């Protein structure tokens, strides 16, 4: 589902403003395939998703698709929503502030200064990396924001 609770492939077609028949035609697939993508019965091939993203202008579709297609991608890629630009910027600035308030910047500089993570630095380093995840997610949401 997209950020509005719709099937992501439907969202791409809706953003493009096309009927299922026309969408199928421009993608070079059958109308039946489009219905199956939108019902969640099957996943489109990656090249079809790239075409959907290009045609719809919905670049976030690639991330959404990868998270649904691959267990590994779902574990590695943050869940990214398509937000209005102002909201995405506020979320990024809040994430930066939260990270800064934990004094991670100074700790990360100390840990990295010798080029490796010492055993006694390992726990703090892992916490810093975990606390970077909201920053990464917020940065991606700016890239995919509704402009």
Extents of the domains making up the chain: 8-76, 85-143
Q: What pLDDT score does 4 carry?
A: 52
pTM assigned to the model: 0.76
**Phi, psi for residue 84 in degrees, rounded to 5:** -60, 145
Closest CA to 146 of 78, 77, 87: 87
What whole-number distance in Å separates Cα of residue 57 and Cα of residue 105? 36
Give per-residue pLDDT as tens, 104-144: 888 999 999 999 999 999 999 999 999 999 999 999 999 88
Q: Which of 5-9, 42-46, 106-110 has the lowest mean pLDDT?
A: 5-9
Secondary-structure class of domain 8-76 per CATH: mainly alpha
Give per-residue pLDDT as tens, 69-112: 999 999 999 999 889 999 999 999 999 999 989 888 889 999 99
- The mean pLDDT of 39-66, rounded to a whole number, is 94
Average pLDDT, the chain: 92
Q: What pLDDT score does 132 carry?
A: 93
The residues, any chain, with a CB within 8 Å of residue 43's CB and separated by 6 or more, are 37, 65, 68, 69
C-alpha distances in angstroms, 31 versus 25, 27, 45, 62?
Answer: 8, 10, 15, 21
Q: Which residue has the tokens 């993570």?
A: 117
Q: Which of 4-8, 24-28, 84-88 has the lowest mean pLDDT?
A: 4-8
């Amino acid at each position: 589902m997209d950020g509005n609770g719709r099937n992501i492939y439907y969202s791409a077609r809706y953003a493009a403003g096309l009927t299922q028949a026309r969408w199928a035609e421009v993608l070079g697939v059958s109308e039946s395939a489009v219905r199956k993508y939108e019902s969640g019965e099957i996943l489109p091939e990656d090249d079809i998703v790239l075409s959907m993203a290009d045609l719809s202008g919905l670049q976030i579709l690639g991330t959404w698709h990868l998270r649904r297609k691959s267990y590994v991608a779902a574990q590695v890629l943050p869940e990214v929503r398509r937000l209005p630009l102002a909201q995405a910027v506020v979320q990024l600035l809040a994430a930066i502030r939260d990270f800064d308030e934990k004094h991670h910047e100074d700790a990360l500089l100390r840990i990295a200064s010798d080029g490796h993570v010492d055993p006694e630095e390992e726990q703090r380093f892992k916490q810093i990396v975990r606390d970077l995840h909201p920053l990464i997610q917020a940065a991606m949401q700016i890239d995919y924001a509704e402009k």
